[in-house]
């Protein structure tokens, strides 16, 4: 009852995004039957930093990962769209920074995969500069979802990505993808090991199991990432002063 009153008062200040309601006790997302990423649509691709959308009036969360970690499949699963992000049998096909709009200046950003892509050295160095500059200087970036294959977590390049990004103080959520490839006990052991490594090496960031094949883990991603996007988009006043 009290929660409903808070939500009604909040609606007088800001329109409530479709599928979500917010209240001020820690800014908690209340799910309805519409998933957070359901309405994602392609917006723009950028090959250079000056091609990025203006950062003044938008917020975004970026998805990064090794070229064969299943990042595009994760984005498609979250959006419930089979071809929103390009999925290829050849790793490393995401070669630009791709923006997908969630509406009202909120974006999901697909970063170029790193690692196995067979590209010329000049292109690899360009991607590295593009990624590092974007991650370290983009003011509208609110957090990073780092995609890792559960069978090969925390590779040297994953660790380098964490070393780059964590000093910004922004949150990281690790998705251990392809969890259906392991037994439940093996997947849980890996989850515990990665969680411990994150806490010891980079701070108290979050981590979960995820399976695009079985569509498992979507709600947990929404619960973590939703407040990054919508609590950052609006400074929500106390609805019960």
Segment 98-151, tens digit of pLDDT? 999 999 899 999 998 887 556 677 777 877 888 889 999 999 999 999 999 999
What is the tens place of the pLDDT at every residue in 2-57?
344 334 433 433 444 444 444 333 333 444 445 788 888 999 999 899 999 999 88
Specify whether the CB–CB gap between 135 and 71 falls below 8 A: no
Specify whether the CB–CB gap between 233 and 105 falls below 8 A: yes
55-58: which pairs have CB atoms within 8 A and are 24 or more residues apart? 55/138, 55/139, 55/140, 56/140, 57/105, 58/105, 58/106, 58/107, 58/140
Q: How far is the C-alpha of 126 from the C-alpha of 121, rounded, in Å?
A: 9
Q: Where are the alpha helices (DSSP H) in the chain?
A: 2-11, 71-79, 121-137, 156-165, 184-201, 218-233
Give 79's Cβ-side CA count (13 Å radius).
23
Domains of the chain in start order, with CATH, are: 36-233 (3.40.50.300)
What is the tens place of the pLDDT at every residue in 166-212?
999 999 999 999 999 999 999 999 999 999 999 999 998 999 999 99
pTM, to two decimals:
0.80
Which of 172, 230, 180 lies closest to 201 in space, CA to CA? 172
Q: How far is CA 101 from CA 38, 229, 231, in A?
A: 11, 12, 17
């Amino acid at each position: 009852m009290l929660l409903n009153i808070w939500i009604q008062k909040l609606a007088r200040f800001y329109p409530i995004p479709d599928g979500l309601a917010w209240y001020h006790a820690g800014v908690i997302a209340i799910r309805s039957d519409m998933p957070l990423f359901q309405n994602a649509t392609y917006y723009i691709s950028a090959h250079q930093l000056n091609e990025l959308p203006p950062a003044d009036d938008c917020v975004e969360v970026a998805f990064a990962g090794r070229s064969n970690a299943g990042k595009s499949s994760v984005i498609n699963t979250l959006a419930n769209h089979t071809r929103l992000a390009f999925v290829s049998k050849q790793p490393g096909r995401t070669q630009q920074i791709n923006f997908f709009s969630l509406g009202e200046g909120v974006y999901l950003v697909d970063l170029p995969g790193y690692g196995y892509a067979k590209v010329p050295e000049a292109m690899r160095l360009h991607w590295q500069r593009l990624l590092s500059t974007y991650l370290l200087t983009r003011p509208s970036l609110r957090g990073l979802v780092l995609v890792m294959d559960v069978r090969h977590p925390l590779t040297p390049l994953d660790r380098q990505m964490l070393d780059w990004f964590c000093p910004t103080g922004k949150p990281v959520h690790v998705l251990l993808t392809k969890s259906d490839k392991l037994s439940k006990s093996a997947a849980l052991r890996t989850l515990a090991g990665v969680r411990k490594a994150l806490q010891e090496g980079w701070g108290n960031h979050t981590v979960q199991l995820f399976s695009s094949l079985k569509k498992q883990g979507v709600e947990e991603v929404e619960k973590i990432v939703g407040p990054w996007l919508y609590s950052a988009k609006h400074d929500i006043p106390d609805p019960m002063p």
